[in-house]
Amino acid sequence: MNAILWIAQIILAAAFFYSGVCKSILSEQQLIARGQTGVVGLQPAKIHFIGVSEIAGAIGIILPWALNILPFLTIASAACFAVLMLLAAPIHYRLKEPRNVATNMTLLLLSLFVILGRSGIL
């Protein structure tokens, strides 16, 4: 089970790190061209804030558990990712983007799996 949880954490970290870096350095138009359409109409400062938050979450889902320093932060990061996906899915649904909604739901399920697994519930 530990190996599967690590795989889920690595997938989440990679997805959110990539998304965070893109949101931190690219313009709204460049993000939309790359398929990150959930940023439509957001102010650049909000987009950058989301990007930095995603990078912090990507770090938080790996390092605390790996180093056994404040490991509850891994669970907290997964919970924040779950909330983020719950907020993102309706946006993509309204934009008629079923592929992005499916991606949001997959990341939500992975986040919930990490929460439950690292909390000792599974």
Read off φ and ψ for residue 42, nearest 5 degrees: -80, 150
Q: Looking at residue 35, what is its pLDDT? A: 85
Q: Which tokens hold the place of 18?
A: 């990539």
Burial grade of 41 (CB within 10 A; 0-12, 13-18, 19 or more): exposed
pLDDT digits (tens, 9 = 90+) for 57-113: 999 999 999 999 999 999 999 999 999 999 999 999 999 999 999 999 999 999 999
Q: What's this model's pTM, rounded to 2 decimal places?
A: 0.91
Cα–Cα distance for residue pair 74/58, rounded to 1 Å: 9
Q: Looking at residue 23, what is its pLDDT? A: 95
Query: Does the CA dihedral 29-34-40-45 come out positive or negative?
Result: negative
CB 83 within 8 A of CB 57: no
Read off φ and ψ for residue 43, nearest 5 degrees: -70, 145
The structure tokens 């998304």 sit at 19
pLDDT for residue 40 is more than 90: no
pLDDT band at 39; cut points 50, 70, 90: confident
Q: Looking at residue 11, what is its pLDDT? A: 98
How far from each other are the two terminal CA atoms of the chain, in whole angstroms? 9
Q: What percent of the chain has pLDDT over 70?
A: 100
Q: What average pLDDT does the chain have? A: 95
